[in-house]
Structures are given as C-alpha cells and as structure tokens.
Structure 1
Amino acid sequence: MARSKEFEVNEVLDKAIQLFWAQGYEKTSMQDLVEYMGIHRRSIYDTFGDKHALFMKALERYETKQTNKMSFLIDTQKPIKEIIRALFESTIRNEGQPIGCFLVNSGVELGVLDPEVASLVNESYLRTEELLRNLVLEGQQKGEIKADVDPEVISHYLMNAWVGIRTLVKTTTDQQKLKNIMEMTLSVLD
C-alpha cells in the first residue's frame, strides 16, 4: 500500500523558493533543502526529482505567484499609471521577502549556464513586457498616457528599468535613490 505524503507540496515548495531566493542555486545544498523544507531527502527526490528539477518547479511556482499578483493589481481598476507605479513600488518595498527578485536573481546566476532557466526567465520577461504594453495601450486609450509614445518600445524600456531596479535593490539600501530612479523611469509616461 502506498504511503501518503506527510506534507503539503506547495508549502514545502514555497520553502524551497525562499531558500533558493536567499542563497541562490549554487550555494544551496540538498542538505540545506532537507533542513529548511522540513522533509526527508527521499521525499524531495520522490516528489520533485533532483535539485535542479526542484529548483525549476520552485521558479515556475514563483513566476505563477508573481503573475497572479500582477493580475490582481490590474483587476483593481485603478488608473493605469498607478498600476505601473505599484508594480515598481512592490520591488522597492519587497517586505518580508529575500532581497531582489527570485526570477531576476536566477537569470543573473544561471541564465548563461542553464538553457532551461534562461528559457523560463525569458518567457516570463516577454509576458511581462506584453502586460506592460497592454497597460500602456489601455492608458493611451483612456487618455492617461501620452499618445505619442510607442507602446512596444516603452514596454521594453519599462521592463529594462524594472529588472534594473530588481537587481539594484540587492546592492543599495538607499530608498531615495531607488524612488528617484522609479520616478525618472515613470516620467516617460507623462
């Protein structure tokens, strides 16, 4: 008779996200994962596969959770510029989480070395650019964003700035500097 799992998969996967996010892939050992996730090594292998497979599942779950957060924010029916600002502000605040963005951190650490990570990160970036483009288009249709900006080009610019801020928060504690960068970036929408 098969033994039932003694843990909730998403709960332990969320723990793996936190550990990989804080330490990075290379610095996280299987023993670190066993201790932090609070489950047996065999259970990790049986449920998720090896360390890389667990990492990919953690990265996919993180990306899904971030997409859901963005969708929730967009569904608030706030003005478009406020929605875009909130996306940037959430990066600067980042309360209760490891510093930076797990997705960006993973792309920086492994993007050149691991095609699977590079592909997942790139696909996520493309979806975010599309979301930003659609927000800019909607803002233009509502008269909230100036009409003479190219939504495609602006979405690339905003994405680049957002990734930059998600990287910079790892090296500076100067909140005013981060806010100034955000304000300058968002000024292209006025």
Structure 2
Amino acid sequence: MPRNKEFDYDEKLVTARDLFWKKGYNATTMNDLVDTLAINRSSLYLAYGNKHELFIKSLGNYIQQKDKQYSHAAKKSKKPLEAIRHIILSVTVSAIKDTNCLFTNSVFELATTDTEVSSILRKQTLKAVDLFEQLLNQAKADGSLKSSKEPRALAHYLVSGLVSIYNTQILFNDAALTKQTAEILIGSINN
C-alpha cells in the first residue's frame, strides 16, 4: 500500500520555485532541492519528477502568480493608460521587494539552450504583449493615446521594459533608480 504524502505539494513547489529563483536552474542541484524542500529524494521524484520537470512546474507556478499580479493591477483603473501604469508600477514594487525574477532569470539562463523553457517564456511574453496591445488599442480608440507608434510594437517595447526594471534593481539595488526607470518607461508611451 503506497504511503500518503507527508507534505503539502503546492507549498513545496513554491519552496522549489524560490530556490530556482535565487540560485538559478544550473546552480541548483538535486541535493539542494532535497535539502531545501526537506523531503527525501524518492518522494521528490515521485511528486515532481526530475529536476527539469520540477523547474517547469516551478516556472508555471511563477507565471500564474505574475498573471494574477498583472490582472489585479490592470483592474485598478478603467482607463487603459492608467491600467498600463498600474501594471508597470506593480512590477516595480515586485522588483524592489523581491530583487529577483524567475522569468527574467530564465530568459537569460535557459531561453537559448532549452527549447521547452524558451517556448513557455515566449508564450508568456506574447500573452503580456497581447494584454498591453489590447489596452493600447483601447487608449487609441478613446483618444488618450496620442502616440503614432504601432500598438503591437509599443506593447513589445513595454514588455521588454519590464525586464529592464528588474535588471536595474538586480544590478544596482537602488529603489530610487528602479522607480525612475519605471517612470521613464511609463512616460515613453505617449512620446
């Protein structure tokens, strides 16, 4: 008769996610995972699969968290440009508070070498681009977007700018500079 799991699956997944987040995929060993999750190796394999499978699940968990964050931030205003501003500011707060981003780390560490991770990251990036493009098209329709920039290209630019917010905070650990970076990104929308 199989033993019941003696741990909370989702709680341990978040713990693994945070470890990958702090150390990166390549620097995280199975021993690190066993020690940090405080479960035995066989339970880890049975519950989550190998290191790569656990990383994919962890990345999926992180992406779900970011989707909720963006959605919550966007809903703070019915005005589309204000919704974009709220999303960018929520990313700024996360960057300052967390000083890291599993998504950004994964882009730079794995996107060129791991096709599965690259596919997940690309899909998520396009989802964010679609959200920004939708808001920009609404702003164009209501007259609040004065820029002649193509909304899809501007949406791509804004999403790449989110990465620059994390980059600034990770490299310089300077909240004032990170907030300035975000404000410049916001200001670029109608320029």
Instruction: Please give the TM-score of this superposition, normalised by the length of structure 2.
Output: 0.90
Q: CA deviation at 1:174?
A: 2.4
Where do residues 151-190 of structure 1 align in structure 2 (5 Å cutoff)? 151-190=151-190
Partner SS state of residue 170, structure 1: helix
Q: CA deviation at 1:170?
A: 1.0
Structure 1 gap ranges (5+): none
Over 3 Å counting, the alpha-carbon distance change for 1:173 and 1:147 in structure 2 is: closer
The answer to whether the 8 Å contact 1:105/1:167 transfers is no
Structure 2 gap ranges (5+): none
Mapped to 1, the partners of 2:109 and 2:77 lie a distance apart of: 36
Where do residues 1-190 of structure 1 align in structure 2 (5 Å cutoff)? 1-94=1-94, 98-146=98-146, 148-190=148-190
Matching residue's letter, 1:24 = G
Partner SS state of residue 170, structure 2: coil
Mapped to 2, the partners of 1:149 and 1:177 lie a distance apart of: 26
Matching residue's letter, 1:61 = N
In percent, how many aligned pairs have the same letter?
Answer: 31
Partner SS state of residue 94, structure 1: helix
Partner SS state of residue 189, structure 1: coil
Q: CA deviation at 1:95?
A: 7.0
Summarize deviations over 1:102-139 as a string: whole Å, max 9, x none. Answer: 11101101111111111111111111111110111122
**Is 92-101 or 36-45 further displaced after alignment?**
92-101
Residue correspondences, number = 190
In angstroms, what is the RMSD of aligned CA positions?
1.9
Summarize deviations over 1:81-113 as a string: whole Å, max 9, x none. Answer: 332222222333227964221111011011111
Q: CA deviation at 1:45?
A: 0.1
Summarize deviations over 1:11-36 as a string: whole Å, max 9, x none. Answer: 11001111100110111111111121
